[in-house]
Structure formats: C-alpha cells, structure tokens
Amino acid sequence: MTSPRAQPGFLPRAEFGRLFAALEADGRRIIGPTVAEEAIVYDELHDPAQLPVGMTVETAPGAYRLVPSGRDRAFDYAVGPTSWKRFTHPPLVPLTVSRRDGAGVDVQATAPSAPRLAFLGVRACELQALAIQDRAMRAGPLGDVDHAARRDASLVVAMECAVAAETCFCTSMGTGPEVASGADLVLSELDDGFVVRAASHAGEAILGQLGLAPAAAEQTNAAAEQAREVRRTMGDPVPTVGLPERLRASLDHPRWDVVAERCLACANCTLVCPTCFCTSVSVASDLDGVTGTTERSWDSCFSLGFGRVAGDANFRPKVKDRYRQWLTHKFSTWWDQFGSSGCVGCGRCIAWCPVGIDIREELLVIAPPGVEPGPAPWPAAPMGGRAPDPLPAVLPARHVTVRVGDVVHETADTVSLSLATDDRTLLGAQPGQFVMAELPAFAIPPISISRIRPDGLDLTIRSAGAATAALVALHARDTLSLRGPYGRGWPVGEAAGRDVVIVAGGIGLAPLRPLVDAVLADRPRFGAVRMFLGARTPRDRLFVAEMNALAGRADLEVSEIVDRAGPEWLGRVGVVTQLFDRATWDGSRATAFMCGPERMMQAAAAVLARNGVAPDRTWVTLERNMACGVGTCGHCQVGPFFVCRDGPVFSLAELGSAFGREGL
Amino acid sequence: MPRDSRESATVGWLPSSMAPAVAARLVELGESRSFPAGTVVIREGGPCDSLGLITRGRIALRMQVPGGADRTLITADEGDLYGWSALLSDATATASGVAVVDTQALVFERGRLLDAMAADCALASAIQAWVLAAVARRLQATRLQLLDLYRSGLEP
Amino acid sequence: MAGPPPAPTPHHAPRAATPRRPRIGVVKFASCDGCQLTLLDLEDELLAIAERVDVVEFAEATSHRSSGPFDVLFVEGSISTAEQAVEIARLRTVTRHLVTIGACATAGGIQAIRNWFDHEEVRQTVYPEPAFVDSLALSRPVADFVAVDAELRGCPISPGQLREFLVALVTGRRPQLPDEAVCLECKRRGVVCVAVARGIACLGPVTRTGCGAICPAYGRGCYGCFGPRESANTASLAEWFGATTAAPDVARLFAGFTAWSGPNRTAIDALGGPPGQREAEGRSGDA
Amino acid sequence: MHDAIGTGGTGGTGNNLEIDVAGLTRVEGEGSLRLLVRDGVVQEARLEIFEAPRYFERLVVGRTPDEVIDIVARICGICPVAYQMTAVHAFEHGLGIPIDPQIRALRRLLYCGEWIESHALHVFLLHLPDFLGYPSALDMAKNHRAWVEAGLALKKVGNQIVELVGGRAIHPVSVRVGGFSRVLRRSEVERLAGPLTSALRIALDTVDLVTGLEPPSFDRTARLVALRHPSEYPMNEGRIVSTDGLDVAAGDWPSAFEESQVAWSHALQARGRDGNPYLLGPSARITLAADQLHPIAAASLASTGRAAAIRSNPYWSILARAIELVDATAEAIDLVEAYRAPDRPSTPWQPGPARASWATEAPRGLIFHDYRLDEEGHVAEARIVPPTSQNQAAIEADLAAFAPRVLALPREQATHRIEQLIRSYDPCISCATHFLRLDLETVP
C-alpha cells in the first residue's frame, strides 16, 4: 500500500450510490453490511438501500441486539457475527479431485476461485485481522493459494468507527479505532455524508472516478474527532504490555479449571474470530472409491476431533486444554508463530459466546498486568515477534504420482513400500522429512521417509487406521500420489566430528533410517555411533536383517530390547533406556537423535541428559501431530510451534517444557 | 541377533559409589559361577537362596501369565542383580531365572551374606543401598512397560 | 460408544472389488420407522447401493426375510418390551457390526420421557386394559443391552451421514461422523446465532452436529435431536438459560428426543424433572 | 424372523385354510396376520398389531402446543406432516389464531409434499412389486429399473418440498402455532417449479402404468369415510362425510365414531357408533370428493374409467394413489406459482386454556386430534386417532370376505394374495399403535 496522494473528498449521503456504481464499474461485486436474521451481517449488496440505515447494535457478553440508532446513518454499529474471512478464507474450500484408473492414481489440485470483490465497511480492527490472516496463511512452506488469490482479487473500502460496542477493545490491542494500513479507500461517515480518502493506487483510481469535491477542513476534523471520541469511550480494558510473556508463564493457573466449568467448547469464539484460520480436511468418494474429492472446512481447537491423532489418542482431551490452547495461542504463541498478536480486540468472541465468557476478564485474572511473569516454559520461537515484511510468495502444491516397486512386509501391520520416481523435488528429500500420501477416497496421512534412494523413496507405514491400512494393502505396480517432501529434517551436519546416539522405539526407526544411511555414507566424519532400538515384541522389530547386518559392523554399535517376549527370545527384555542408563560414555561429546512413542522419548531424554547430552544436541521428531503438512490447518501446534512447518525435528532446547507436556 | 553394547561389558560391576573396602569384602564374599545357556538359576515360587550379580551373559526373569504361557518380563544383563528376594525374610523367588546364553555371575549365598551384613553395618547399608538402587531401576522399567501397555490399549 | 466401526475386513483393500457383498439387515424396535425410511430416502443412490450390498432383512422394503447372520445390522428403535430385550441379545450374536440408528436406538427416544413417570400410571392413562399391553418400565437405548459398534444419531438420522456411512462401508474407509457442536455447522453455514441475537434457547452448543444446523437456519433453537456431544456442558448452558430471561422453563429444553442420554438426563433431574411429571404425581394420586 | 416369504401355519386344502404371517412385510411398523377358515367358514380374521407401545397421549401431557407439534411428528416417520398439520390446525382453531393466507398455502404445499413422498413410496416400493410378482422394489429394479427410478424421482420431489418448507424431509422443524418459524423467500419456493413439472409428468405416466395392472377381482360394498371441503380436495380441513350419508364437523368425530381395545392389538379399533367398520384413505377420498380433484387429476381419473372399481375393489387403491399423486403435484405447481412471501413468519398468540379438536387427511386417511389445554396453555388431555387404527376393523372385515376366494389356491399363493390385500390399505402400523382415549373414568 502507498500513502494517499489525492485530497480527501466528500461524498454526500444522497449520492452514496455513486460509490456502488464506481465499484461495479471496476468489475466488482460489493460485499457489505445489511440486516438479516435480526443482525447486521456482511452479504452481497446491489443497492445502498440494503445498508442497515438507522440501525445500531447493543452487545454484551453472550448478547447481541439490533436496535434503532435514532439517526439515519448506515454504518452506525461496531462489528457483527460475520467476519471478512468468510470471503477470504471461506468455510469450505475444495482441495483436490483424485481418480484411480488403468493408468493409476491421479490427483489434481482444484483451481482457486477468486471473485473480484469489494469489501465495503471494513473496520480498523478488521483490516488488521485481514493482515494477520495474510501472514498466517503464508507462513507455511507453500502458503495458501486459494486465500492468496482471494485477497489479491479483493478491494478494501474501510470505514472509520463512529461508535464503539461494549465488547470492543481494539485500543488495547493497538488495532484501532483509527484506520491505519491495509485499506484501498477509507471512509468516515458524518451525518450528511462521507469523507473519502484513498490509501492505495487502486483506491486512488476509484476516488478519481468519483470526482468528489474536496472535503472541507471542518469535515475532516469532525471525522478525526469522531475517532478520538470512540477511543476515549473504550479506554484500555486489557493492558497488553508483557501479556505474551505473562500468559506463557501461566499454563498451570487454577483459573483454567474455573473457566472450563463454564466453557461449552462449542467453538463459537473461534468461528466468529476474524483471525482464527484452523481447518480440517474431509474426503468424499463415489461408491467404488474410484474417484474422490477432498475439501477443507473451518474447524476449531475446541472440537475434540481437532486434537485426535493416529491411534485415537488425543492430545487435548480436556475442555481446559482446549480453552488454554485458544487463549494462549491468540495472545502469546501467535507472536512466536507469526510475529504479531492473534487478537485484534473486535470482541466478537465475547458477544457470541453462548454463555458470555469474556476473554478480557479471563486475561486479567490469568495474566494480570504489573505482575512479573514466571519462568518461560519455552524460548520464544521462531518468528520471535518479527512479522514478515514483505509477505513470502505463494506456491501451488505439487501432486506427484509414484509407482510401488517392492513391498516388504516388515511386521504383521507394517510394510515398506519402495517407490520409484524421477521427480527431482522428491529425490531431494532430506533425512527426517515426510511426505503426504494420497489415495482416492482416503484421508491423507503424513508418512515419514524411511530411505532416500537415487531413483526413489521408501515409505515404511504402520496400519493404524483406514488410510494407512489402504496404503499398507498396496501391491507392486500400484500407484499413489505424494506431496512433499516437507518439514525440517535431522541436522546431520550438526553431529559432524561428534559421537552419534540414535534411540528408536517401534515404527520410530523409520524416519531415523535415512539419518543412519547419511552417517554411514560419510562414516569418518563422525565419532562413535551407538544405536539403541526398542520394540514392543520381537515380532514388532523393523528392518531386522538390516539391523543385524549393522550390528555385525565394527564401526558402530547396535543394541536392542523388547518390551515383552516369549521364551524363544534370547535377547534383552525391558525398556530402551536400560540399554544405556548405566553407560559410561561421555554424553557431552554426543549428538542424540530420537523417534518413538512420546513417553519413551521422555524417559530416554532424561537418561541422555544424565549422561551429559546437551538439550540443544538432543533431537526428537514429533511428526505424529501433523495433518495438512504445510502449516495452514493448525492441527499440529505444540506450544509456539507448528510441527509440520518448524519441525517435525526439534531439539529439546527449542521445545523446552512443551516436550511431553500433557494437554498442550 | 545383535550383540550387546560393548560399553556395558566394561562397566565396573559394583557401583562406583561403593567404598573400596566394602567392594573388596563383597568380591571376597561372592563366588563366581557359570550357568550354561538354559540353566534354571532360580524357580518361581521356590527358595531364593542366593543373590547374584551378572558379570557376563543374560538371565531372563520369567513368569507364568494367565493362559499358562511363560513370558519373559525382563532380562537381567551384565551388571544387573537378580535374586534379591534372598535378602527378604521368606526368601521365596517371585519369578524364574533362566540363563538364556552362557552366563557368569558373582553369587552371594544367602546365609553367608546375611551373617556378614549382621556383623558389618557399613557392609549392610552399602549392600542395601546397592540392592535398593537395582530395585528402583527395575520399578522404573516396569512402570514404563505398564504405561506402554495402557497406551497400546487405545490403538486399533 | 460413538466410534465408527472398522469396515468389514474384506473391504479394507483400496480396490472396490470385494470378494463378497456384505450382508445388511435393518430391524426395528420401539420407533416411528423414520430412520429406516431414511435409507429409502437416498433416492439417488438407493439402487447403486443395493447392487453393492446384500439386503437380507428389511421388512419395510422387502419380503425377503433373514434371521442372520449379518455383516452390518442397522437397528432402529428403543428397547421397551421384554421380547425386545431378548431379540436384541439374539441379534447381537449373529451380527458383526451392530449399528444403532436414530435417537430411539441411541438414546431411548421421546418415549423415554415416560422413564420419569410411574409406569402403571402411564399404562392406565393410555390403555383401559393395560393387561393387553406389554412394556417395560423404561424405554432404553440399545447400548444398555448389547455392545454397539457404531451409532448414527438424530431424530431422524441424517441422509448425508447415512450416505457417508454406507459409502465408507463399501469403500473400506472410516466414516466421517464428527462429534462436535452443532455450532460449527451453524457458523459454517453463516446462520446468525439465534441464542445470542434473539435470546432463543438453543441446545446447539451441547448437541452433536450432523443435522446441518437445520433449526437455527429455520429461525428456531436446536432441540437436541442428535443428542449430547462429547463433554457436553449442559450444566453451564442450563445455568446461563436460567439466568437470562431467554428460557423461563429450562427443563423443557433438555426433555426432548434424547432426554434420557446422560448429560441431558442430569440437567433435567437438576431442574426438577420433565414437564408432565407434576401431572403424573397428580394422577397417580387419584388412579 | 423367517427365511421364506410368508410363513408358519399349516397349509390349506379345499375348505380349510390357516394362515399366519408372523411379520408382515412392506408395511410400516410391526404387524401380523391370522386367518382361520374351517369348512369354508371364516373363524378368525385378525390384523394383529404388536408394535411396542410408546404412550404418546401421555407424553404430550404438560407440554406446550409448539412442543406437541414436535412430539406428535414422531408418532410416524412416514407421515409426520399429517400429525403436525392436524395438531397445529387444532391449536390455532382452539385458540382462535388467524392465519395468513400465504401461510395456509405453504402448509398445503408442505402437505402435498408428504402425500407425494408417501404415495410414491407405497405405489412403487411397497405395492407395485405385488402386482409384478417381486419380493421387493430392489428385485423389481433388475427388470423394471426405469419404473423404480421414476418412482424414486417422484418420491424425491415430495421430499424436496417437505425439506424446503419444513427444514428436513422427515420430522420437519419449521411448523409453529401461528405459522412457521421462518419466512420462505419466493426465490426459494420457486426452486421447486422445475422438479414439480417433471414430477407431474411422472405422476401422469404412473396412472397409465397402474391402470394396466390386473388386480384380483374382489368387489364389496364398504363404508367409506373422508373429509370434504366446499372448494378444495380434502387435505387440511373439511367436514366428515361418508358413503352412507354421514356429514358432521371435523371436531364432532367422537359423535360419529367410537374406539375399543381388542386383546390382539396394541392399537385401538374404531367403528361407527352403529358398530360398523369403515374405511379411510385414497379410495374413500376419490369416491367422496372426486369433483374437487385438480382438473388435471380429474381428467386423468376420467381417462381410466375406473372410478367405480376404485370404490368397490380395495386392490385398486394403487390407482387411487396414482390419481392423488397427480392431484398433489398439480396443486403444488399452482401453489408455488401463486406464492408471495408473507410479512412475518407467524401470527403472535397468547397461551391459554382451550379445547382443540381438528381432523385432516393423512396420505392413509382421516386423522383426528383432540386436546384440552389447561390454564397455563399446557396439554392436560390428548386423544389422537390415526387412520390405520380406524381402518383396522374394515381391513379385517375385508379379509373375512375375501378369504373364501383363496381357499382353492396353494397356501403359498393364498398367503401372498392375502398379504397383497393388506398392503393395498397401506397400513401404517407405527401410527396405529397405542392410540387410546385419555379417559380416566375407564381406568379400573
């Protein structure tokens, strides 16, 4: 956006239709406020008569009432149930169409639809909300094509606030009431008409079209005074200095239990929130599973399914966990993830909470101003409060069809698929990265790469649900579609010149195998290499022949142990930590890499720490939490991180107490 | 199947925290025995008449689980103690110990050990601390195994 | 339990080709037939589905009869007579995946309101010759009698969810039957919250989604026919309605088609029982 | 349950016949049939109804009129609109609430939707297989796919109407005392025009299709009862008339009929005060109100030349339903065309005491509701009389009359003929069950 050059003009109320005409002449459909279902909603407008003239709104926690304003202004309200994300990040977006035919599986991304829209009556807080979502939807490795296209195709006509609702607190969040950046045109409504100024080249073009008389000084002053008055009425209900730090340090505050008693976990707050962007992907198919479609729809961290992960475990089972995730995300971890607050102070979540929970009140109790924050549970990361500027470019997702070569049945429920491809991007995968594997009619699970070959990739998959079961059931010469590779892999180089410790539990060995390959390919670069492998039973051991071969080598050690076994098993029985909890090697010379069940990793991490392995040299992978793989769905948040975007590989130093913390 | 970590083979079998005099006294009290693979060292429910420290090899501690199957709950490996029931008054073995490979152990005959402990408080407390540490480690392992059992109950 | 069943193993393979068409049965107990009618309401897919499954028992639609075995048995209706209790136990033994359909089978149905009343009073009120009529004191969900592998909620069930369940069944994937609040569907549709904007009492926040948020979309509050969702905080909602002038008589809200299911029942009891109980007490007096 | 069609009983030869159909199929709800003939004399002809009782008349006690509208719908998933319409009209009549003409039109449209859905279901999925010799429509589709698809398409349009006006196809949510919970925009209603036009075409073809069927010959003189309205085909309102001259106001149903309980049924049998059975439903309506049929339906009926047969032979009810499919679709088209959105969804009203009695025409025939509202406007007593429990006695009478004609047939065929006869009344057993007067005086 550029600073306005054209003089502010004045548009008489009676001639407001000229703005409609100008916007329509610009080939745009107009979305703006109108009365429906006893509320002021944003919907398509064809005529200024549809504006909520003479109406205003009274809000309170859990209440919203449309009432006459007593004057015939059209924008005499604060914000309503609709937010602009309905048009920039719609509730339902088709993602892919997949087909299985003679040639194999083919997945096509659905082209983004981007109608030319003009948003009329966007408030200062809503402008900031749009900017915040722009950053959130572009924070992943690709960015979201649909959202970007819709934003690029939209023109924003802002409206300075003339009134504040009881639930407004933009002054505290620093997003209003005065319109700052992000608009193309900015209007201020006075009794007899509108002061109009351009805030971008596109805005200037429209303003030029209108050919307005310049606004008189008293008119521009009246407009400014109006905004100042709104600011005065609001005050500063939620002091935000140091709020992110205070909140981050209050994860165990007793108030979380109190609010959970009232909270319905109905998700209304997140759905009316103009910045909340979380989604879930659903699949549909024909009766034969030959053609399938995927689409994403608004979801919420308040729904139980949102925290469900493979094996029906759930990392946010309690309502308390979900409320804490929402509030801490909005006001604290959002800074770490996107470099700004996630709240703009519009107050929608307060008015539209069916039981009137007021976040302002909760914040003041949980993270009261002026109180020194306790120790931080994790270091600030990765944006650390720096909003990206300019926004990163957006790339379309690539769906690559690959063919199954060998199928190795590793255990009763686990197979390794050897996939052939000449796709350079896939072949460029790094150890510890993962791909999204798609078959028509099935959910799309993230699968870690278990071997990177010059001519393809191996995926080792455990059947833990219908989608993975379908993958495990694939035969040689079948095809599937891959996206990726995604994620930050193992920092192999970081271990150069040092001892290497590898701890694997069950299927966790799969993402570690490419690391082992990399180390062995350049063995002299590393010191002693020690592998500690755990499995549930002898029958659950992965890559048995290969591991036995490694065990036969003089230049590395492999010890393994199983949880339980019958008499036929002559190896060790117990837990993986028993393999090294009495070891005498010097952990300070070692870099450790771990993957396995989280409890196993916690126990192993404790033992490694005792042996002197530093937290910043202890690397774990948390891939089990991922859903979309590209940092847009919000499912895999752990404290300040998106696992798919910032990980899946993390050091314990990065994770801090987020590692293994229940309910986070 | 893979060999065990060579590191553990070089572990000083007695805890480094143990006073040299006490350690020396223990080595003198103990008697090095070898159990060929398959030897039943102690039998579940039978008398537990000696405490052992494995210096080489492996003893599988097994129990009859419902259904009559014989399951290995845990193995005692180089540096591990077994048969600590010998220090308890009823001295009954709670699991069977079977050498799954050729195994060497430093074995302390119950009567001798208890007499020596009765005679030497320093020795007694050192041994109790030693055994307690071993028990604590075993309980930790068992706890993790239990958690894993419950977790796997969730899985389809 | 609410979790969807794994599809019958032969259908796990991603290929549509399956060795054997699953044997499907549809039976009813105390109910209105609306949920099984929903099967026939899948007008566009009915014949295609019928080609992919083997409908061996569905008295409302076919004269073929079978007493089992069934790969999938859809059970409509609540258990409210002694014969029904015996029959559902028998059916369980010949059924691989037992799927309850509708509020009667999953929650006891509207007829479970009588569970709060005196059974004899109810029988005598409605029948001059109660002796001719056989019924148990309580109308209860199927899960109170036998293990249930999956449930389709609703009064009636949603054609969309039934379609999803059947497609998942024949393609071997896991049915997507979200266990979240009606509010999510309501907001996705862009419906203005009737509770907040109009003060209409609405059970949407504590009710499982799946209907399409029909009631709010038609300008009235959700009456909970899909039953309580997970961690349904009916206590908090009841307290709010009680405090706001929106709902003078809060117990009525919960005393609907899923009244007997845990969280609703607790709320009703806390509010002094369903409407009609006072009358019941009055009656058993003079009866 | 049983693995064969029909069931049980010992076979019949010559003058003896014993038929037990333990579980009637292709009817709504659970019923069974017992027919016993000795030496050519019918000893027993029973339609047994053992659907579990649900005590609705007790469940609505203490409820508000709007709650009752939601609750009584659950009596029957096939014809919930019939229950909602009868109840809502009863309350509005009893409380003296004026109804906007457009609201009344929408309600009639809603009812048309249910008639179309219910009749299409019965004609194509339940009854037609009997005439063509299939155990089900799904089997019939193997050789007559086009017909089954046409039937489903017709049924779907009925559902679309109920879904639009009522919110969903089964147990609609929008009917409220005084009107609806929401105003339908004309643009929404117009969306029905296209589907209805093709539905009318299918309905007319259906008449041709069923006119060509060959039902068993069985002529008897039954007493037919239906509503009659001076200016429209009976649906939402009218006076109760009969083929033998009865003519009373809908609210006076009790003056003309009475109910009694029989040991073999959870339903109540209704008979005329004179003790004679009577029959409701499409054949009765066609017979008693043919002159009020939509012109298109009237022409269609005339073209078949079977008006008399519909009156005398119960098997021809399938044709009566086909004619009513034409009538309902044709009228729905007119209603959609004429619709203008009312200013408000419903007329405001005050709860209070009232006696609320009304009758409407469900797809299966006349349905009567009678409520007493107490001072707070809550239901104190309720009485609901659905069509099937009124038809039960007439059905049994027809069975007894028809039985001798099948004595010669092999039992298998005899059973099928009898079952087919029962299906021709489209008995809705879910409805029929557990309806008895809330009559404390009769409590022993």
Q: Do chains D and C touch (3 or more CB pairs under 8 A)?
A: yes
Q: Give the Cβ contact number of residue D299 at 10 Å.
A: 12
Range(s) of the domain holding residue B145: 24-154
Q: Do chains D and B touch (3 or more CB pairs under 8 A)?
A: no
| Yes or no, beta carbons of D169 and C276 under 8 Å apart | no
In a domain, D315, yes or no: yes
Please, what are the domains in chain C?
9-171 (3.40.50.700), 182-276 (no CATH)
In a domain, B19, yes or no: no
In a domain, B13, yes or no: no
Give the up-direction half-sphere exposure of residue A634: CA atoms within 13 A in the CB hemisphere. Answer: 27
Place of tokens 């083929």: D243
Place of tokens 């050789």: D143
In a domain, B9, yes or no: no
Query: What is the pLDDT, as a whole number, of residue D26?
Result: 63
| Yes or no, beta carbons of D74 and C159 under 8 Å apart | no
A446 and A435 Cβ atoms separated by less than 8 Å: yes
Supply φ then ψ for residue D41, to 5 degrees: -105, 130
Confidence band of D443 (pLDDT split at 50, 70, 90): very low
d(CA A52, CA C98): 53
d(CA D108, CA D88): 13
Report the residue of A31, A84, A101, A264 to disrupt the C interface, i.e. the one with the largest count of C CBs within 10 Å. A264
The verdict on B4 touching A (C-beta cutoff 8 Å) is yes
Nearest to D237 by CA among D202, D200, D289: D289
Looking at residue B39, which CATH number applies to its domain?
Answer: 2.60.120.10
| Yes or no, beta carbons of B156 and A530 under 8 Å apart | no
Of A262, A439, A442, the CB nearest to C236: A262
User: Is the confidence at residue D71, as pLDDT, over 60?
Assistant: yes
Shortest Cα distance, chain B CAs vs residue A316, angstroms: 15
Q: Give contacts of C 109-168 with A, CB under 8 A.
A: 164, 167-168
Q: Tokens for A458, please give them.
A: 């191996």
Nearest to A82 by CA among C175, C57, B72, C187: C187
- Tell me the count of A-B CB pairs closer than 8 A: 105
Query: What is the pLDDT, as a whole number, of residue C124?
Result: 78
In a domain, D223, yes or no: yes
What are B26-73's pLDDT values in tens digits? 888 999 999 999 999 999 989 999 999 999 999 999 988 877 778 898
Query: What is the pLDDT, as a whole number, of residue D406?
Result: 84
d(CA D384, CA B82): 80
The verdict on A413 touching B (C-beta cutoff 8 Å) is no
Query: What is the pLDDT, as a whole number, of residue D10?
Result: 41
| Yes or no, beta carbons of A62 and C244 under 8 Å apart | yes
Supply φ then ψ for residue C167, to 5 degrees: -65, -45
Query: What is the pLDDT, as a whole number, of residue A2?
Result: 44
Query: Which residue of C lies nearest to A472 if distances are taken between CA atoms?
Result: C13
For residue A575, the chain B residues in CB contact (below 8 A) are 141, 144-145, 148
- State percent of chain D over pLDDT 70: 90
A275 and A343 Cβ atoms separated by less than 8 Å: yes
d(CA A607, CA B66): 33
In a domain, D411, yes or no: no
| Yes or no, beta carbons of D26 and C28 under 8 Å apart | no
Stretch D252-260: mean pLDDT, rounded? 90
The verdict on A548 touching B (C-beta cutoff 8 Å) is yes
Q: Tokens for D85, please give them.
A: 């319409």
Between strands C150-152 and C95-101, the pairing is parallel
CA-to-CA dists, residue D103 to D11, D73, D145, D172, D181, angstroms = 56, 19, 39, 16, 11
For residue B2, the chain A residues in CB contact (below 8 A) are 547-548, 550-551, 558-560, 571
For residue C84, the chain D residues in CB contact (below 8 A) are 52
Stretch D89-106: mean pLDDT, rounded? 96
In a domain, D14, yes or no: no
Confidence band of D3 (pLDDT split at 50, 70, 90): very low
Could you tell me which residues are beta bridge partners of residue A408?
A416
CA-to-CA dists, residue B148 to A537, B119, B144, D76, angstroms = 12, 44, 6, 51
Of A548, A560, A575, the CB nearest to B141: A575
Shortest Cα distance, chain C CAs vs residue A282, angstroms: 8
| Yes or no, beta carbons of C44 and D61 under 8 Å apart | no
The verdict on C108 touching D (C-beta cutoff 8 Å) is no
Query: Which residue of A lies nearest to C208 if distances are taken between CA atoms?
Result: A266
Nearest to A563 by CA among B141, B156, B99: B141
| Yes or no, beta carbons of B144 and A559 under 8 Å apart | no
What are D124-134's pLDDT values in tens digits? 999 999 999 99
Q: Give the Cβ contact number of residue A299 at 10 Å.
A: 27
Helix (H/G/I), strand (E/B), else coil: C170: helix
For residue C220, the chain A residues in CB contact (below 8 A) are none
The verdict on B1 touching A (C-beta cutoff 8 Å) is yes
d(CA A354, CA C206): 11
As a three-state string, the secondary structure of A449-509 is EEEEECCEEEEEEECCCHHHHHHHCCCCCCEEEEEEEECECCCHHHHCCCEEEEEEEHHHH
Report the residue of B3, B4, B82, B101 to disrupt the A interface, i.e. the one with the largest count of A CBs within 10 Å. B4
| Yes or no, beta carbons of C256 and D76 under 8 Å apart | no
As a three-state string, the secondary structure of A592-656 is EEEECCHHHHHHHHHHHHHCCCCHHHEEEECHHHCCCCCCCCCCCEECCEEHHHHCEEEEHHHHH
d(CA A48, CA A326): 38
In a domain, B5, yes or no: no
| Yes or no, beta carbons of C188 and A271 under 8 Å apart | yes
In a domain, B132, yes or no: yes
In a domain, B149, yes or no: yes
A363 and A283 Cβ atoms separated by less than 8 Å: no
Taken in order B118, B122, B125, B130, is the CA torsion positive or negative?
Answer: negative
Helix (H/G/I), strand (E/B), else coil: D183: coil
pLDDT under 50: residue ranges of chain C: 1-18, 283-287
Query: What is the pLDDT, as a whole number, of residue C172?
Result: 83
For residue B140, the chain A residues in CB contact (below 8 A) are 577, 603
More confident residue, D432 or D47: D47
The verdict on C122 touching D (C-beta cutoff 8 Å) is yes
Chains that touch A (3 or more CB pairs under 8 A): B, C
Chains that touch D (3 or more CB pairs under 8 A): C
d(CA D169, CA C78): 22
Total domains, chain D: 1
Query: What is the pLDDT, as a whole number, of residue D38?
Result: 85
Total domains, chain B: 1
pLDDT under 50: residue ranges of chain A: 1-3
Query: Which residue of A lies nearest to C160 if distances are taken between CA atoms?
Result: A284
The verdict on C224 touching D (C-beta cutoff 8 Å) is no
Stretch D55-79: mean pLDDT, rounded? 94
Q: Count of H helices and E strands in chain D?
A: 16, 13
For residue B78, the chain A residues in CB contact (below 8 A) are none
The verdict on B89 touching A (C-beta cutoff 8 Å) is no
d(CA D210, CA D204): 10
What are A70-106's pLDDT values in tens digits? 999 999 999 999 999 999 999 999 999 999 988 889 9
Please, what are the domains in chain A?
9-234 (no CATH), 243-366 (no CATH), 400-486 (2.40.30.10), 492-621 (3.40.50.80)
Looking at residue D91, which CATH number applies to its domain?
Answer: 1.10.645.10
Query: What is the pLDDT, as a whole number, of residue B69?
Result: 78
For residue C50, the chain A residues in CB contact (below 8 A) are none
Query: What is the pLDDT, as a whole number, of residue A103?
Result: 81
Q: Where are the alpha helices (DSSP H) in C199-276?
A: 214-217, 234-243, 250-254, 262-270
For residue C62, the chain D residues in CB contact (below 8 A) are 25-26, 135-139
d(CA A316, CA A648): 19
A177 and A227 Cβ atoms separated by less than 8 Å: yes
Query: Which residue of A lies nearest to C186 if distances are taken between CA atoms?
Result: A268
For residue A63, the chain C residues in CB contact (below 8 A) are 196, 199, 244
CA-to-CA dists, residue B127 to A55, A325, B155, C173, angstroms = 85, 50, 43, 59
d(CA A416, CA A419): 9
Q: Tokens for D229, please give them.
A: 């309205």
Range(s) of the domain holding residue D147: 56-395+426-442
- Under 8 Å CB-to-CB from D412, ≥6 apart: which residues? D5, D6
The verdict on C10 touching A (C-beta cutoff 8 Å) is no
| Yes or no, beta carbons of A41 and C7 under 8 Å apart | no
Q: Give contacts of B 13-42 with A, CB under 8 A.
A: none
